[in-house]
Amino acid sequence: MQSLLEKFKDFIDISPNTPRISLGEGDTPLVWSRMFDQKYGFPNVYFKLESCNPTGSFKDRGMVVAVAKALEKKAKVIICSSTGNTSASASAYGGRYGLKTVVLIPSTDVPISKLAQSIICGAHVVRISGSFDNAMAMVKALEDSSVLTVVNSINTDRIEGQKTAAFEIVDDLGDAPDYVCLPVGNGGNIYAYWRGFHDFALKAVSSKQPKLMGFQASGSAPIVDQERVLSPKTIASAIRIGNPANWEKAVMAVRESNGLISKVTDREIIDAWQMLASQEGIFCEPSSAAGVAGLLKLIHNQQLSAQQSIVCIITGTGLKDVSLVEQSDIQSSKPFQVINDLSELQVFLRKL
Ligand code: F0G
């Protein structure tokens, strides 16, 4: 299979000397939505399943470029702060390509399934007191080090790689969609989509650029509320960020694309998350559902017209954060039943 680096070499900032490493990232499915068609009368809604990347999130697209560039520069150590997905991705690529990997995670609330990915890959996992923002501040202070390569999205190589998701959407649809809905944490991904769609429009590969619709969780919405959040709170742990590292770039992406940045409540996120699983068969991270919750809100508020083409980015897999399945008040969840024999099973089946 052709590596993402080779496939998009003319569109991303790499040189002939950049090693064409790969863990099979990219080329993720674009799946048509039954639910938005049948329930809401929107026949052109799609999900981009970034959860199908090798470590289960979109981070792999950016990480492959960041790690390739680190190898090109003969770096020995990569470091990142993370709410769990960047660290999982850095750990996988770092392990595979023989780089020492240090990941700084907030002292609480990183789901064990994400941590497990770093631990099993042999990364050095360090807990930092406080929230993600404290860890990010430390990493930023190390950015100029000659020994370490920072692989957070403040590293522009990450953005180069993440642009490729926009290229794939244009390739699959034959043109750019009208809207792209996605969750926003640090703001790197929404900026990367803007860059990707902008590049393709400039080179006339596509005829237009989509409006980028970013959604933060309401207890953790510094960009929407235009003020840092000291103790960000939301069930969507991946986007629990009070001081986004790419704040200005995210605002620029929204402004230039005529999009918007708005917020959704935890209740709306959980409802969208559960609907995606039960009605579309897509089990994503709660954070990924924020973009879909946002789209539902726009439709309810009659801010969109039905024929427009819309892509929701499913940023990470649900298997990364399963604790919420038990914790949440999920309407359709039914208690487990214990059945002792075939006749009890037959009674149970008759009652379905
Ligand atoms: N969705 C998921 C699943 C994420 O892991 C993240 C960010 C986002 C959305 C937001 O993307 O930060 O580019 O605006 N996760 C980072 C991490 C912070 O450390 O894994 P963003």
Report the run of H or E that residue 248 belongs to, with start and end: helix 247-256
pTM of the predicted model as reported, rounded to 2 decimal places: 0.96
Q: What is the pLDDT of residue 330?
A: 65
Banded pLDDT at 328 (limits 50, 70, 90): low
Q: What is the pLDDT of residues 127-152, one digit of tens each?
A: 999 889 999 999 999 988 878 999 99
Give me ligand 1 centre to Cα 330, in Å: 24
Question: For residue 270, what are the contacts with CB-CB under 8 A and spacing of at least 6?
Answer: 235, 286, 289, 324, 328, 329, 330
Measured from the Cα of 184, ligand 1's closest atom is: 14
Is the pLDDT at 237 greater than 60, yes or no?
yes
Banded pLDDT at 1 (limits 50, 70, 90): confident
Calculate what percentage of the chain has a pLDDT beyond 90.
91
Q: What is the pLDDT of residues 42-89, one digit of tens each?
A: 999 999 999 999 999 999 999 999 999 999 999 999 999 999 999 999
Q: What is the pLDDT of residue 54?
A: 98
Banded pLDDT at 289 (limits 50, 70, 90): very high
Q: What is the pLDDT of residue 177?
A: 98
Question: CA-to-CA distance for 242 and 240, rounded, in angstroms?
Answer: 7
Instruction: With beta carbons less than 8 A apart as the criterion, state whether 278 and 205 touch.
Output: no
Question: CA-to-CA distance for 9 and 213, rounded, in angstroms?
Answer: 28
Q: What is the pLDDT of residues 174-227, one digit of tens each?
A: 999 999 999 999 999 999 999 999 999 999 999 999 999 999 999 999 999 999
Q: Which of 168-172, 251-255, 312-316, 334-338 is least confident?
A: 334-338
Q: Which residues have any ligand 1 atom within 6 Å of their CB? A: 57, 59, 82-86, 153, 183-189, 238-239, 285, 287-288, 315-316
Q: What are phi and psi of 328, to 5 degrees?
A: -75, 155
Q: What is the mean pLDDT of the chain?
A: 95
Q: What angle do CA 297, 314, 286 make, to 5 degrees?
A: 70
Q: What is the pLDDT of residues 78-122, one digit of tens each?
A: 999 999 999 999 999 999 999 999 999 998 778 999 999 999 999
Q: What is the pLDDT of residue 335?
A: 67
Q: DSSP E strands: which ranges in the chain? A: 30-32, 45-49, 77-81, 100-106, 124-128, 148-150, 179-183, 211-217, 260-264, 310-314
Q: What is the pLDDT of residue 272?
A: 97
Report the run of H or E that residue 200 belongs to, with start and end: helix 188-202
The residue whose CA is least distant from atom 9 of ligand 1 is 183
